[in-house]
């Protein structure tokens, strides 16, 4: 892994680069970060991450642990994770917020490359997100896909044939004030809710990542109050 720090006028931008080009069975990636008191940090990736075919019983793992001190702001803005047929990946994102910290988090998953006609006949993907404030959980979420991913996505109660999904979490005192504007950017299959005071959660599914980004970009720029990192636009 490498980290680049492009020049920016606002928050510190950090761009994570997986120099191996992807993740496969047996790989272990651990990311640790801390946003100090009164600081602002935007963490993104150079490009989409890729989860490649794994050998049987060899699981790849990506774990990210970030702490955000008082009066600090975190924007966790990685680009898409692309799942390939035969992948086996466990991913976790754990964020610890101080009482007056704020955070904007997004996680996007593409189930194969639709333009290439890829299908996911056999995958294993386990994704977990946890956010704690002052040591107490405020958001816990989990998604698991195992078996024929394409068949599961085709089900009406899952994704109705969509091949991309995104989750956004915004933990900040002004969360309620953004609810109406966020809903105005949502596509047909998307929803936004206030799960608690100061906690806005958005879920979107779309045909592909191109369509998904049409909704994601204006929502993320509104909530982050800044343009997205340049790597999103390359």
Alpha carbons 157 and 217: distance in angstroms, whole number: 26
Domain ranges in the chain? 2-233
Taking residue 137's Cβ as centre, other Cβ atoms within 10 Å add up to 9
Using DSSP's 3-state secondary structure scheme, residue 124 falls into strand
Residue 160 has pLDDT above 60, yes or no: yes
How confident is the model at residue 116, as a pLDDT?
A: 65
Contact 131, 93 (CB under 8 A): no
φ and ψ of 37, to 5 deg: -55, 130
pLDDT, one tens digit per residue, over 91-131 is 999 999 999 999 999 999 998 776 566 777 889 999 999 99
pLDDT, one tens digit per residue, over 53-73 is 998 889 999 999 999 999 999
The DSSP code sequence of 145-177 is: EEE-HHHHHHSTTTTTT--EEEEEEEESTTGGG
Alpha carbons 19 and 134: distance in angstroms, whole number: 35
Residue 10 has pLDDT above 90, yes or no: no
């Amino acid at each position: 892994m490498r980290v680049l720090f492009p020049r920016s006028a606002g928050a510190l931008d950090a761009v994570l680069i997986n120099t191996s080009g992807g993740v496969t069975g047996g790989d272990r990636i651990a990311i640790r970060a801390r946003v100090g008191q009164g600081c602002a940090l935007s963490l993104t990736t150079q490009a989409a991450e890729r989860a490649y075919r794994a050998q049987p019983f060899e699981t790849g793992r990506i774990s990210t642990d970030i702490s955000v001190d008082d009066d600090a702001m975190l924007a966790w803005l990685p680009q898409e994770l692309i799942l390939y047929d035969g992948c086996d990946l466990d991913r976790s994102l754990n964020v610890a917020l101080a009482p007056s910290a704020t955070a904007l988090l997004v996680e996007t998953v593409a189930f194969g490359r639709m333009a290439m006609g890829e299908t996911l006949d056999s995958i294993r993907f386990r994704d977990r997100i946890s956010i704690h404030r002052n040591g107490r959980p405020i958001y816990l979420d989990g998604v698991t896909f195992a078996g024929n991913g394409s068949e599961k996505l085709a089900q009406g109660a899952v994704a109705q044939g969509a091949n991309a999904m995104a989750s956004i979490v915004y933990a900040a005192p002004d969360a309620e004030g953004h609810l109406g504007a966020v809903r105005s950017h949502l596509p047909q299959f998307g929803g936004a809710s206030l799960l608690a005071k100061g906690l806005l959660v958005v879920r979107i599914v779309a045909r592909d990542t191109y369509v998904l980004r049409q909704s994601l970009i204006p929502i993320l720029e509104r909530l982050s109050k800044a343009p997205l990192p340049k790597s999103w636009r390359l």
